Amino acid sequence: MLEAVIFDMDGVIIDSHSVSRRLLVDAVRALGCNLSSETIGAWGSLSSRQFWLKVKERFDLSQDLSTLMDGYDAEKEIALYRTMSPIRGVVDLITAIRNEEIHTGLATSASERRMQAVLNIFDMHNLFDCTICDDDVSASKPDPEIYARISAELDAVPARCVAIEDSENGIVAAKRAGMRCVGYTGSLHIDEDLSGADLATGDFQQVTPADLAQLV
């Protein structure tokens, strides 16, 4: 019996990768370093702390990690969200899941500021029973901590949960936590190995709660 469906945010709820990548290029350039959008894409989906630690090590920067993270213009990224819409079909899917009295959660590697901005801008607070972000955990995906924690807060058995992810790190995290996983392949800005997913889809309009229930 399916007890909970847990959604990633970036690339699953909104196509934030389309704006964040160019802002990251600008932020790295402001430090006197050159990093292409293609290289950032090849690094895969990383949390802010994972990304800036990689930049710090690659360019041997003297600034501490918190300074590098604070130098990124998250407010500019958030402002650009207002020009966007949720990924096609995702809100209807979440609503259909909740209509079946199945718990829904949001487990994102985004900061609390970005997560709350998305929930506010797209009026999504009532769509999730629990939300957890990267600020709430000690280790980012692919560590399973975020999924272990959200399943506990939802009072759901991990083996009866399905995670929906668009990244290899996210899929690994969900699987390590003992969950089944759907890989969303519809993003044009991400090219990751999603072969570890139990089901792949490029269109949320083609997924039903019954499809997800069959995975557990």
pLDDT per residue over 45-58, tens digit each? 788 889 899 999 99
In contact, 118 and 124? CB cutoff 8 Å: yes
**Fold for domain 4-15+85-213?**
Rossmann fold (3.40.50)
The per-residue pLDDT for 47 is: 83
- Residues of the chain with pLDDT > 70: what percent? 99
The per-residue pLDDT for 187 is: 79
State the distance between the two ends of the chain, measured CA to CA, in whole angstroms: 7
Tokens of residue 184, six digits: 């969303």
Helix H or strand E encompassing 146 = helix 145-153
The per-residue pLDDT for 189 is: 63
Residue 75 sits at the vertex; the CA angle it makes with 129 and 88, to the nearest 5 degrees, is 50
Tokens of residue 46, six digits: 């990383």
Q: What is the mean pLDDT of residues 22-47?
A: 86
Within a 10 A sphere around the Cβ of 95, how many other Cβ atoms?
Answer: 12
Dist. CA 212–CA 210, nearest whole Å = 5
Structure pTM?
0.91
Of the candidate ranges 24-33, 125-134, 136-145, the one whose mean pLDDT is the lowest: 24-33
Tokens of residue 204, six digits: 């949320």
The per-residue pLDDT for 190 is: 65
The per-residue pLDDT for 86 is: 97
Q: Quote the distance between the C-alpha of residue 210 and its chain's center.
A: 23
